[in-house]
Chain A
Amino acid sequence: MSPEELYVATTRANMLNLEVYYYWATAIMILIHAGFLMYEMGASRVKHVLASGTKNILAFAFMIPTFFMFGWWIYLSMYNGFVPDFEAGAGGVPWGDSMGPNLADNATGVFWGAFTLFACTTASIMSGSVIERIRMAAFIVLAVLLGSVVWNLSAAWGWHYAGWMVTGWGYHDMGASGVVHMISGFFALGVLINLGPRVGKYNPDGSPNRIRGHSLPMTATGLMLIVVGFFGFLGACLIFPGTELSWSATQWANIYGQPTTLSAICFNTLMAVAGGIIGCYVMTRDPFWMMSGALCGVISAAAGLDLWYPGLAFVVAFAGGILGPWAAGVLERMGIDDAVGAVSVHGVCGIWGLLAVGIFMGGYPGPSAEIPAISFTGQFVGVIVMFLLGFIPGYVVSWIFHKLGILRASEPVQEAGMDKEINAVAYPEEIKSMH
């Protein structure tokens, strides 16, 4: 075999390995959705369980076709802002040759699948916070807006080698602390402001009541499944080496093109999970928050997973584990009823994740000489952009739905249980709700 033939064969084999890698990473990412499903159903009271589950499943189902219709195209074409680059977006046009079975393209389908699952994750983050009172149609539209439009814009701007936040500011968000978690958390905050609290959450004097879900074991197990799914999620944040689509012939790279390893992600993801759980345990000793602490930890360390010293990843995650429940308490006292703490876990810890990179990692070179090094300023700009890009659409569209009267279930329906909307019974042998 000549050197040229050997190169072609090796590159082809690498391409097939790339396809296998992202295919299974996508499958593992579905565990995030299975976990959120359990998490949200467990956090619901008996009379709301199936409504919560149904909304979560429908968010997943709607994300897939809408990501095919326009989500992937937005990501590919809108890296410069709001004006699309039609040439760059051509590969994502839903009637294009790449957007279906194609023997000359082993990559587009698995990349599209992985990005679609990222979108499903954003919708799931929002869906938990609004359980027990949001109406179905409004929820589906909001989920599609978040997962197939807003997240795609944030990713195009800050999670794309040509994104303006990357090329202009050196924004570094390897594991999506900002582009997935902050976006989703603050989108949820915008919705929650218009949606209002669940009936019975607040007393006439404004003091909050603790509304307990019907199955903490289900919630805790769901959160552990999310942790498993995160290994697929974070693994899929890397670019496979050795193909014509790769950054390097011999080494993994992050989405921006800086070299890294799967070992880096393994070290720091595990340390972040542990740090978050232990931080939340110290803060609350509450099993719900301990498992949410795993998310607090991963989200806090995610932006720099490729670069942390593992001991420092643990410390950053530990701080996230303290920050998450503290922020949830602040929001609750402000009258924001976030049923699962999504705003604090994803939004506030996402801010911390971006800023931690700015605080500790200033000076790391950009992926090329033209791209600025990591800096606190670049990360701070990222925090502002991600907050606004998440919050404004969530607030504005939910405000319109609120004015149209289609956002929130009435008090009698909430009292009877949102499962009245669902043609099934969660527990036919009637576990009684105490609430």
Chain B
Amino acid sequence: MINSSPVEAWDTASAIFTFAGSGGVHLWFWVMCLLCVVPLAVSLKAEKAVEKEHNGK
């Protein structure tokens, strides 16, 4: 599948995390940021429904 390994041997490795030193790190960083916004939208939608139910607006 996806070869995200920045190392070919362990002896001299330093940053060993997936996609280290490549654009993949930025991709997954921004996906993470996006996923942190989703629950805010979910909350706003749920709160709006409750407000409407109780206040009629």
Whether the Cβ atoms of A362 and B19 lie closer than 8 Å is no
Check A275 for interface membership: any CB of B closer than 8 A. Answer: yes
A285-B42, A315-B28, A365-B5 known, 19 other contacts, Cβ within 8 Å: A275-B32, A278-B38, A278-B39, A285-B46, A311-B28, A311-B31, A312-B28, A312-B32, A315-B32, A359-B1, A359-B2, A361-B2, A361-B18, A362-B2, A362-B3, A363-B4, A365-B7, A367-B10, A373-B5
Residues of chain A within 8 A (CB-CB) of B25 are 309, 311
Whether the Cβ atoms of A275 and B18 lie closer than 8 Å is no
Residues of chain A within 8 A (CB-CB) of B46 are 285
Known contacts A259-B10, A264-B17; decide if A282 and B3 are in contact (CB<8 Å): no
A-B contact pairs, 9 of them (CB 8 A): A260-B16, A282-B42, A285-B42, A311-B25, A360-B1, A362-B1, A363-B3, A364-B5, A365-B5
Residues of chain A within 8 A (CB-CB) of B28 are 309, 311-312, 315
User: In residues 33-57 of chain B, which contact A (Cβ within 8 Å)?
Assistant: 35-36, 38-39, 42, 46
Interface residues of A (CB under 8 A from B): 258-260, 264, 275, 278-279, 281-282, 285, 304, 306-312, 314-315, 318, 358-365, 367, 373-374, 376
| Cβ of B55 to closest chain A Cβ, rounded Å | 20
Whether the Cβ atoms of A307 and B1 lie closer than 8 Å is no
CA distance A376 to B24 in the complex (A): 19
Known contacts A282-B42, A365-B10; decide if A318 and B35 are in contact (CB<8 Å): yes
Q: Name which residue of chain A comes closest to B45, CB basis.
A: A285
Q: Name which residue of chain A comes closest to B11, CB basis.
A: A259
Residues of chain B within 8 A (CB-CB) of A360 are 1-2, 4, 18
Whether the Cβ atoms of A361 and B5 lie closer than 8 Å is yes
Whether the Cβ atoms of B3 and A309 lie closer than 8 Å is no
Residues of chain B within 8 A (CB-CB) of A282 are 38-39, 42
Residues of chain A within 8 A (CB-CB) of B36 are 278
Q: Which of A278, A279, A309, A318 has the most CB of B within 10 A?
A: A309
Whether the Cβ atoms of B18 and A314 lie closer than 8 Å is no
Q: Name which residue of chain B comes closest to A358, CB basis.
A: B1
Residues of chain B within 8 A (CB-CB) of A279 are 35
| Cβ of B42 to closest chain A Cβ, rounded Å | 5
Residues of chain A within 8 A (CB-CB) of B17 are 264, 307-310
Whether the Cβ atoms of B7 and A364 lie closer than 8 Å is yes
| Cβ of B44 to closest chain A Cβ, rounded Å | 12
Partner of A307, one of B16, B24, B29, B42: B16
Q: Which 3 A-B pairs have the closest CB atoms?
A: A363-B3, A311-B32, A363-B5
Partner of B1, one of A264, A315, A376: A376
Whether the Cβ atoms of B42 and A281 lie closer than 8 Å is yes
Residues of chain B within 8 A (CB-CB) of A304 are 18
Partner of B35, one of A278, A307, A364, A374: A278
Q: Name which residue of chain B comes closest to A259, CB basis.
A: B10
CA distance A367 to B11 in the complex (A): 10
Known contacts A307-B16, A308-B17, A365-B9; decide if A314 and B35 are in contact (CB<8 Å): yes
CA distance A361 to B46 in the complex (A): 37
Q: Name which residue of chain B comes closest to A261, CB basis.
A: B16
CA distance A260 to B14 in the complex (A): 10
Partner of A314, one of B2, B5, B32, B42: B32
Residues of chain B within 8 A (CB-CB) of A376 are 1
Q: Name which residue of chain B comes closest to A373, CB basis.
A: B5
| Cβ of B27 to closest chain A Cβ, rounded Å | 9
CA distance A309 to B25 in the complex (A): 7
Known contacts A285-B46, A315-B35; decide if A365 and B8 are in contact (CB<8 Å): yes
CA distance A373 to B3 in the complex (A): 11
Residues of chain B within 8 A (CB-CB) of A275 are 32, 35
CA distance A311 to B20 in the complex (A): 12
CA distance A75 to B28 in the complex (A): 38
Residues of chain B within 8 A (CB-CB) of A309 are 17-20, 24-25, 28
Q: Name which residue of chain A comes closest to B20, CB basis.
A: A309
Whether the Cβ atoms of B10 and A258 lie closer than 8 Å is yes
Residues of chain B within 8 A (CB-CB) of A285 are 42, 46
| Cβ of B28 to closest chain A Cβ, rounded Å | 4
Residues of chain B within 8 A (CB-CB) of A310 are 17
CA distance A314 to B32 in the complex (A): 7
Residues of chain A within 8 A (CB-CB) of B20 are 309
Residues of chain B within 8 A (CB-CB) of A364 are 5, 7
Q: Which of A278, A311, A318, A360 has the most CB of B within 10 A?
A: A311
| Cβ of B17 to closest chain A Cβ, rounded Å | 4
Residues of chain B within 8 A (CB-CB) of A264 are 17
